[in-house]
Amino acid sequence: MSMEAFFSPRSVAVVGASREKGKVGHEILASIVRGGYEGKIFPVNPKAADVEGIPCHPDLKSIGETPDLVVIVVPARVVPMVMEECAAVGAKAVVVITAGFKEVGDDGKALENRILGIAKRAGIRMIGPNCLGVMVPSHKLNASFGGDLPVPGGIAYLSQSGALLAAILDLANANGIGFSKLVSIGNKADVDELDLIRAFGQDPETKVIAGYLESITHGNAFVREAEGISAEKPILLMKSGGTGAGAAAASSHTGSLAGGETAYEAVFERAGIVRCSSIKEQFDHAQAFAQQPLPEGDRVAVITNAGGPGIMAADAIERQGLTFATLAEDTEARLAEGLPAAANIHNPIDVLGDALADRYELALDIALDDPNIDVVLVLLTPQAMTECAATAEAIVRVSKAKPGKPVLAAFMGARQVGEGIQALRQGGIPQYDSPEAAVATIRVMANYVRWRARPKRVVRLFPVNRRRVERIIDRYLRRHLREIGEMESKEILEAYGFVTPKGSLATTAEQAESIAEQLGYPVVMKIWSPDIVHKSDVGGVKVGLRKASDVRDAFDLMMYRIPKKMPEADILGVLVQEMCSTGQEVILGMNRDPRFGPLMMFGMGGIMVEVLKDVSFYLAPLTAQEARQMLKNTRTYQMLRGVRGQEGVDIDAVAEGLQRLSQLVTEFPQIQEMDINPYVVGLVGTSPIAVDARISVEGSAD
């Protein structure tokens, strides 16, 4: 069923409507009436004759017709009975305002499951329980107790917190911000963020989807849906709380670095969702998206009546990585002709402190014609002669006449610019309290435009040996072992096209020596034990051994010292390995998020990973472009490219390694976490080497 009945019902019943002012059951009905709802209203209350002057019905049945929307405000224990009634009269859309469900513990959870079960069986869609309700300004529907109905507009809002929605409403109403729909999803027992972004995505009234979420229920479906919707309209989310994934139990580097939030960061990035950290930031962005066209590029021109704010804006533009527009010659000539001689005709265009509305009008009109400008930011400080309101009206007029490019304003101050700000808002020009805030929004718009223009995602599939990996993993799972040892981890990697160092296991010093002779010096020796996760930590790695006596000594020393340090560890011998002498050490890894699936990691490798934390994450499967972007998101990238005359390493080979790893973990959901550390990368044309690897698996062998 679509969400239509929630958003444009022809009739609404309020079960639990109360005569007592201040009670939620009264407030909801009063809100519906006060909002000017034009459909039929049915208060339901067996103990009252009428509420707010509207005759009451003792129950849903006695209404005699099926209300499109039913709002339930009765005490929690009575809700199941009312839900049964909803089913009996054939209601299809129900909002349960009542609290006292999942949020209060196990009994509440059981009660919630009961009403959900009734709803599901009857094909009822339910919003809530424990929510504030639904508002649709264009339909004059305020089925909530959140506050007054805001004006109609292009922003749809969904909130997992009712209280926050009340705060947003208050702020929005004070500033005249318009909405298409507002929904408080409460415990989201049935209707959740996925249903709503889908409905908002299809809603012609909605230009921007904004919301506050504490959790995302259907991880993968949400990412897919959001990615599709973001191609049409922006999604701006505030998100609090982590996924709680991995971190504590993690044995890999990737697992310990992938905190709960990293998955969300990666998801938002993948789906083109703009993450906001405050209500203010969210509405700063939302208004621009709702009211202005998208910029074609990131070249910003500034018009100002004061030098200081112009410089602040220029600084912010540079800091945010936007382009400070260079005006076309023709633009400067026209500005020189129309403005006083003292005015600055270069960006930032300074119309001077004594500018009246006409100079702003002229400058904006000329700027909007300039092919070198994508966005115009108009700044104003209230000086002696400034005409705040008239200037605002002029800005509105010009931007309406030339609607192709976004125009944003920052009228700075409070009381003196108040009327001007009012006029800007009414005219659909987003207003910011500082140049920085406006520039932050411009950056978000430019990023969004870039995200939309990104190339189509194509995931490359490498020819691999899946059977070989399957056999190893099955063998481990059958024995109920989680950690795959280094030798077999490397076998898995080889099956996916990775190169690993040659070497074998020695159980005596003599054997170690003969392996070393065969490999050729220098060699590396590593303690070999399923119980030792980080070998260097216990002195279990010796590199750069150049002769037979070094090898024998290293063997004896390890076999003597390590069992003392770790008496419990089962030590099988020492691995003698060829030494990769040149190259930089990076780490490639994966941690499987319970909701969103494999989360890939790239970063600075070696034994300092956790200390330096120079890592980046992205969701698998990776495209070549995404893999390269992961590299670029780290400082390590600069090193890989070569600093101070050093030759860079083969960056494409690293990106390819990430893609191969992404294929491996996508094809084997049994792999829970893994990393290759170090992955030693050399000059272009040489193969990177997976020197050390760790893989842990979970699941049942069948």
Task: Give the nearer residue to ligand ADP in terms of CB position, either 10 or 502.
Answer: 502
The structure tokens 């402190």 sit at 353
The structure tokens 């002498």 sit at 581
* Alpha helices for 138-183 (secondary structure H): 162-175
Cβ contacts of 106 within 8 Å, gap of 6 or more: none
Please state, in angstroms and as integers, the Cα–Cα distance from residue 86 to each residue in 61, 91, 172, 658, 698, following that order. 9, 5, 34, 53, 45
322 is in the binding site of which of Mg ion, ligand ADP, none (Cβ under 5 to 8 A by kind)?
none
**Single-letter code of the amino acid located at 424:** L
- Residue 296 CB, nearest distance to ligand ADP (Å)? 47
> Which of 282, 267, 311 has the alpha carbon at shortest distance from 208?
282
Task: Give the nearer residue to Mg ion in terms of CB position, either 249 or 533.
Answer: 533
Burial of 687 (0-12, 13-18, 19+ CB in 10 A): middle
Q: Interacting stretch for ligand ADP, rule CB under 6 A, among 139-147, 286-294, 572-580, 633-641?
A: 572-580
**Which residues in the 668-697 window bind Mg ion by CB under 5 A?**
677, 692
- Residue 538 CB, nearest distance to ligand ADP (Å)? 9
195 is in the binding site of which of Mg ion, ligand ADP, none (Cβ under 5 to 8 A by kind)?
none
- Residue 656 CB, nearest distance to ligand ADP (Å)? 21
Q: Interacting stretch for ligand ADP, rule CB under 6 A, among 210-218, 266-274, 552-560, 575-583?
A: 575-583
The tokens describing 381, both together, are: 């400080």
629 is in the binding site of which of Mg ion, ligand ADP, none (Cβ under 5 to 8 A by kind)?
none
Task: Give the nearer residue to ligand ADP in terms of CB position, either 206 or 256.
Answer: 256
State the Cα–Cα distance between residues 368 and 463, nearest whole angstrom.
Answer: 53
* Near ligand ADP by CB under 6 A: residue from 92, 181, 535, 628: 535
Task: Give the nearer residue to ligand ADP in terms of CB position, either 147 or 678.
Answer: 678
State the Cα–Cα distance between residues 139 and 369, nearest whole angstrom.
Answer: 39
* Near ligand ADP by CB under 6 A: residue from 242, 260, 427, 606: 606
**Which residues in the 476-515 window bind ligand ADP by CB under 6 A?**
501
- Residue 677 CB, nearest distance to Mg ion (Å)? 4
Answer yes or no whether residue 530 interacts with ligand ADP by CB under 6 A. Answer: no
Q: Interacting stretch for ligand ADP, rule CB under 6 A, among 165-173, 254-262, 531-539, 646-654?
A: 531-539
State the Cα–Cα distance between residues 371 and 381, nearest whole angstrom.
Answer: 28
- Residue 253 CB, nearest distance to ligand ADP (Å)? 8
State the Cα–Cα distance between residues 292 and 40, nearest whole angstrom.
Answer: 36
* Near ligand ADP by CB under 6 A: residue from 33, 279, 607, 612: 607
* Near ligand ADP by CB under 6 A: residue from 29, 141, 429, 579: 579
579 is in the binding site of which of ligand ADP, Mg ion, none (Cβ under 5 to 8 A by kind)?
ligand ADP
The tokens describing 669, both together, are: 């959901």
Task: Give the nearer residue to ligand ADP in terms of CB position, either 380 or 590.
Answer: 590
Answer yes or no whether residue 580 interacts with ligand ADP by CB under 6 A. Answer: yes
Do β-strands 597-604 and 208-213 pair in parallel, antiparallel, or remain unpaired?
Answer: unpaired
Cβ distance 458 to 622 under 8 Å? no
Cβ burial 164-203 (10 Å sphere, 16+ → b, else e): bbbebbeebeeeebbbbbbbbbbbbbbbbbbbbbbbbbeb
275 is in the binding site of which of Mg ion, ligand ADP, none (Cβ under 5 to 8 A by kind)?
none
Cβ contacts of 604 within 8 Å, gap of 6 or more: 585, 586, 587, 612, 614, 615, 634, 635, 636, 639
Do β-strands 152-159 and 208-213 pair in parallel, antiparallel, or remain unpaired?
Answer: parallel
Answer yes or no whether residue 524 interacts with ligand ADP by CB under 6 A. Answer: yes
Answer yes or no whether residue 543 interacts with ligand ADP by CB under 6 A. Answer: yes
Q: Interacting stretch for ligand ADP, rule CB under 6 A, among 254-262, 396-404, 490-498, 529-537?
A: 529-537
Please state, in angstroms and as integers, the Cα–Cα distance from residue 522 to each residue in 535, 544, 547, 683, following that order. 19, 5, 7, 20
Q: Interacting stretch for ligand ADP, rule CB under 6 A, among 52-60, 534-542, 612-620, 629-637?
A: 534-542
Answer yes or no whether residue 536 interacts with ligand ADP by CB under 6 A. Answer: yes
Answer yes or no whether residue 678 interacts with ligand ADP by CB under 6 A. Answer: yes
- Residue 462 CB, nearest distance to ligand ADP (Å)? 24
**Which residues in the 255-294 window bind ligand ADP by CB under 6 A?**
none
Answer yes or no whether residue 575 interacts with ligand ADP by CB under 6 A. Answer: no
Answer yes or no whether residue 577 interacts with ligand ADP by CB under 6 A. Answer: yes
Answer yes or no whether residue 585 interacts with ligand ADP by CB under 6 A. Answer: yes
DSSP 3-state assignment of 236?
strand
The structure tokens 């089913």 sit at 87
Rg (CA), the chain: 32
501 is in the binding site of which of Mg ion, ligand ADP, none (Cβ under 5 to 8 A by kind)?
ligand ADP
Task: Give the nearer residue to ligand ADP in terms of CB position, either 491 or 692.
Answer: 692
Task: Give the nearer residue to ligand ADP in terms of CB position, either 97 or 524.
Answer: 524
The structure tokens 């509440």 sit at 108
Task: Give the nearer residue to Mg ion in terms of CB position, either 614 or 692.
Answer: 692
524 is in the binding site of which of Mg ion, ligand ADP, none (Cβ under 5 to 8 A by kind)?
ligand ADP
- Residue 569 CB, nearest distance to Mg ion (Å)? 17
- Residue 575 CB, nearest distance to ligand ADP (Å)? 9
Cβ distance 464 to 495 under 8 Å? yes
Size of the site for ligand ADP (CB under 6 A): 18
Please state, in angstroms and as integers, the Cα–Cα distance from residue 653 to each residue in 184, 495, 497, 537, following that order. 48, 17, 12, 29
Strand partners, 143: 134
State the Cα–Cα distance between residues 234 and 403, nearest whole angstrom.
Answer: 20
> Which of 513, 290, 259 has the alpha carbon at shortest distance from 406?
290
Helix, strand and coil content of the chain, in percent to the nearest 5, comes to 40, 20, 35
The tokens describing 155, both together, are: 């922003």
Answer yes or no whether residue 541 interacts with ligand ADP by CB under 6 A. Answer: yes
Task: Give the nearer residue to Mg ion in terms of CB position, either 291 or 489.
Answer: 489
585 is in the binding site of which of Mg ion, ligand ADP, none (Cβ under 5 to 8 A by kind)?
ligand ADP
Task: Give the nearer residue to Mg ion in terms of CB position, either 314 or 609.
Answer: 609
Which residues contribute to the site for ligand ADP (CB under 6 A)? 501, 524, 526, 534-536, 541, 543, 577, 579-580, 585, 606-607, 677-678, 691-692
Which residues contribute to the site for Mg ion (CB under 5 A)? 677, 692
